[in-house]
Amino acid sequence: MVSCCALIQPSLSWADAGDVFNLSAGVSVLSDDNLFRLPSSADPKSETITTTTVGLNLDKSIGLQRVLANVKMIDYRYSRNDYLDFLAFNYDAKWLWAAGTRWTGEFAFQRSQLPNDYANDRTLGRRNVQTYQLNRFEANYWFHSSWAALAGVLRTSLDNQVPTGVDGDYEADGYNFGLRYLGASGNSLTARAIHLEGSYSKRPFDSFFQFDNGFTQDNYQLDLSWRVSGLSQIRGRIEYLDREYQHFSQRDYSGVAANLQYAYAISGKTTLTLAYIRALEAYQQLTTSYYVLDDVALSAQWLATNKITVNGLLGYGRQDYRGAIIPLPAGVPQREDNTARLAVDVAYQAARWLQFKAGVTLQKRNSNYDIYEYRDRTAFVSATLQY
């Protein structure tokens, strides 16, 4: 939502790709004229959010082994709604291991904490920090210079301070296996099947609202990163997912999901990227079990000078809510939301170790349920220090 920015005095050294350790620190100020994403009739409230970030990056190679880590402490401070203040601790760490030339793989540990998303979660008047964790191990056996068989295990969890209708707190364990191709040109394809067994850790079993205590989920994925030409590349994921609940099949859902990007370099200074996301997400109420999101966005990056970069984005998304467990009254449709957004930001690289940035984002959501409509404008200024 906001950028990291500078907070301490610059060092005599600066961030360098060859350093084992890189430090960052920052502060950002964001103005939001509709923090709770309310319709105009509900008297939207504005807010100013100050975010202070301190981070550490590690990149160390020892022989065939490589360790990567990105650790951040993010302090969120709200000027009017200080009950929302919190300190987030996030990390993304990997050990890229290798045993000879045939065996490679990784241990990965990820944790992220995010504040309320009021667009879909209306837990107004309460702080609801969401914590997501993913730990996994994967091994590749390279039976050919370009082909490998892969297998692994994973554990994931989601924790909310306040129960939500998006998805209850859960813990899930699973395994995956598949096939990977890595060409000499750098193009890659990975086909993977993932099986998860999950349980809801805090939400009580409820036969009336059909809140289950467990689920299974199968994902069949194709990851790709493919250079179409010297100027363009396509990357992302296509998958088919199937979620089934232990007791209430009315809540089950399945379908195709995707997260794809096509990037085209118009020139050495200008790049266009077309992105498409299709997602199926749990959203459990009496009138819905999940929603399908289709979102398309066109973004552009222009290197105006060797110090100034301009970014722009134009996007449109549609959310269709499905899986009602009670009959809707005659003439009452399922909920549908349509969201348009426009964003522009400018970055100024004052020095190798210091960047200033400012931007504005406009959003408008229309819905056939009036209470979910909103308009929102955010603007931010930030600076980032790395050394």
Among the listed ranges 108-112, 135-139, 232-236, 287-291, which one has the minimum average pLDDT value? 287-291
pLDDT at 7 over 60: no
DSSP state letter for 363: E
pLDDT digits (tens, 9 = 90+) for 55-86: 999 999 999 999 999 999 999 999 999 999 99
pLDDT at 6 over 50: no
Q: Is 241 helix (H, G, I), strand (E, B) or coil?
A: strand
pLDDT digits (tens, 9 = 90+) for 78-96: 999 999 999 999 999 999 9
352: left (phi over 0), alpha (psi -120 to 50) or beta: alpha
pTM of the model: 0.90
Q: Give 280-314 as a DSSP string.
A: EEE--SSS-SEEEEEEEEEEEEEE-SSSEEEEEEE
Question: Would the CA dihedral through 161, 166, 172, 178 be positive or negative?
Answer: negative
**Which pLDDT score is estimated for 86?**
95
Measure the CA–CA gap between 105 and 92, rounded to whole angstroms.
16
Residues across the chain:
387
